[in-house]
Amino acid sequence: MSLLKRLEGQNNQGDIPSINPIPKRKFSHHNLQGIKKRVHKILLDEWDSMSLTRVNSSVFQEELRLELEKAINRVLDEEGQVLPRVEVGYLMEELVDEIAGFGPISNLLEDPGITEIMVNGYSKVYVERRGIIEETDVTFTNDAHVMHVIEKIIAPIGRHVDESSPMVDARLPDGSRVNVIIPPLSLVGPVITIRKFSRDTLTMEDLIGYGTLMPKMASFLQACVEARLNIVISGGTSSGKTTTLNIMSSFIPASERIVTIEDAAELQLKQEHVITLEIRPPNIEGRGAVTTWDLVRNSLRMRPDRIVVGEVRGGEALDMLQAMNTGHDGSLTTGHSNSPRDMLSRIETMVLMSGVNLPDRAIKEQIASAIDLIVHQERLKDGNRKITRITEVAGMEGETITLQDLFVYEVKNREHGRMAGEFRSTGIRPGFLDKFYQRGVSIVPDWFE
């Protein structure tokens, strides 16, 4: 008899005596994990590895539920237990998540309101929701349980993690970025950090609606992309740099050839002529790595109109600057920094990481002539993300690169944990407006009022 029919029979028996003279024991929450483990083991023992590779198949999902029903029936009969219908549903869903999904964090991955998931060992799981980090009631059974989920994440893409190689970057099937670090480097057990991939591509209208920038800033940035300015989007971790890069990249005309270079492919460009490149980490022997630097150099031989680099963080900065100075106008990238000025200092440091022996002034001149605009983004203490500076790189004065803010966000007050402020134009007209004229891009006088 199927499990569902058996439960229906129990619910409809009324006062009819049980056919079985030996009464079955009531279900106890204490035994739930034991039943779950036994059912899980039965399935792993009876299904071959080829069957378990079809986890994304809808046919597999149906087969899995049927097999789970049989296995639950079998375990309950062997233990002489009665499981309430509600508990059957919970147990079924947990086991489906365990086998076809990513265990306890499967529901968190499905929640569109969550942007980041942080597993700090088996007993603590945090999420970021609306820019605020909060602890959840989700837990794993033990460290081995976390390691099992890690293996499910990294195995399909050929990655490996163990004590000799305790760190790994990976991505989920939907493109979400994953970082894993395990003992002995982590003293709290296996740690998983997942930056979720947005299923819906955000637009500039969405950013305006969220209060990330004001409309005149948005139209100005669109015009800057169309005028082929070289733009760096700077900011701290989780400030929204990649989202802004993706939106600004969508303004590149469809007629242009675009090469994107990323650690993990996140950009969702809608143009037809896009070549997406992704770095490759070293294999188990430590060989075969392909870095961002390698891909930037190679992209210069691919006749790109635009080069979009997900993030510059090393010696590739020099090749990026040279590309911007030698006919690849309109390139875009992001970088970690605390301010536009700090972004320039970090780029100087990255150029030195390339090993090329250049005088400081020569590096600064390269930067000043290559980069036109820095868009600085921050995540405020209340979780809101704001573009706090749009800054022109105006050139050199002596040994210093000069910057001038075109738009700023000013915090006016802080009440009840919320931060209120306003965007404003500084009234400065940028020196690169001649590029707008040359490329036929309209200028709206209201931008600079």
Q: Are residues 191 and 224 in the same domain?
A: no
* Confidence (pLDDT) at 46: 59
Contact criterion met (CB below 8 Å) for 432 and 441: no
Tally of structural domains, the chain: 3
Distance CA 74, CA 6 (A): 12
Q: Are residues 212 and 347 in the same domain?
A: yes
186-190: Cβ within 8 A, 24+ apart: 186/121, 188/120, 188/121, 188/124, 189/120, 189/121, 189/122, 189/143, 189/146, 190/119, 190/121, 190/122, 190/143, 190/146, 190/147, 190/150
At 123, which CATH number?
3.30.450.370
Q: Are residues 86 and 136 in the same domain?
A: no
Per-residue pLDDT of the chain (449 residues; tens, 9 = 90+): 433 343 334 444 443 333 343 333 334 444 566 676 667 666 656 554 434 444 554 555 667 777 777 777 777 777 776 666 777 777 777 777 666 678 789 889 988 889 999 999 999 999 998 888 999 998 888 898 899 889 888 887 777 888 888 998 888 888 788 999 999 999 999 999 999 877 677 899 999 999 999 999 999 999 999 999 999 999 998 888 989 999 999 999 999 999 999 887 778 888 999 999 988 877 767 778 888 889 998 998 999 999 999 888 888 899 889 888 887 889 999 999 999 999 999 999 999 988 888 899 999 999 999 999 999 999 988 888 999 999 999 999 988 999 999 999 988 877 666 778 899 999 999 999 999 999 999 998 888 88
Domain boundary among 42, 68, 100: 100
Q: Are residues 376 and 231 in the same domain?
A: yes
Q: Are residues 318 and 269 in the same domain?
A: yes
Domain boundary among 195, 216, 236: 195
At 377, which CATH number?
3.40.50.300
Provide the CB-side half-sphere exposure for 408 (13 A, CA).
10
Distance CA 164, CA 284 (A): 9
Residue 179's domain comprises: 105-195
* Confidence (pLDDT) at 44: 57
Q: Are residues 186 and 311 in the same domain?
A: no
Q: Are residues 420 and 379 in the same domain?
A: yes
Domain boundary among 195, 225, 258: 195
* Confidence (pLDDT) at 233: 96
Angle at 337 between CA 332 and CA 341, to 5 degrees: 85
Q: Are residues 27 and 56 in the same domain?
A: yes
Q: Are residues 95 and 149 in the same domain?
A: no
Q: Are residues 73 and 213 in the same domain?
A: no
* Confidence (pLDDT) at 289: 85
Query: What would the two tokens of residue 129 be?
Result: 């929701």
Q: Are residues 88 and 54 in the same domain?
A: yes
Query: What would the two tokens of residue 438 be?
Result: 């040359």
Q: Are residues 233 and 297 in the same domain?
A: yes
* Confidence (pLDDT) at 427: 92
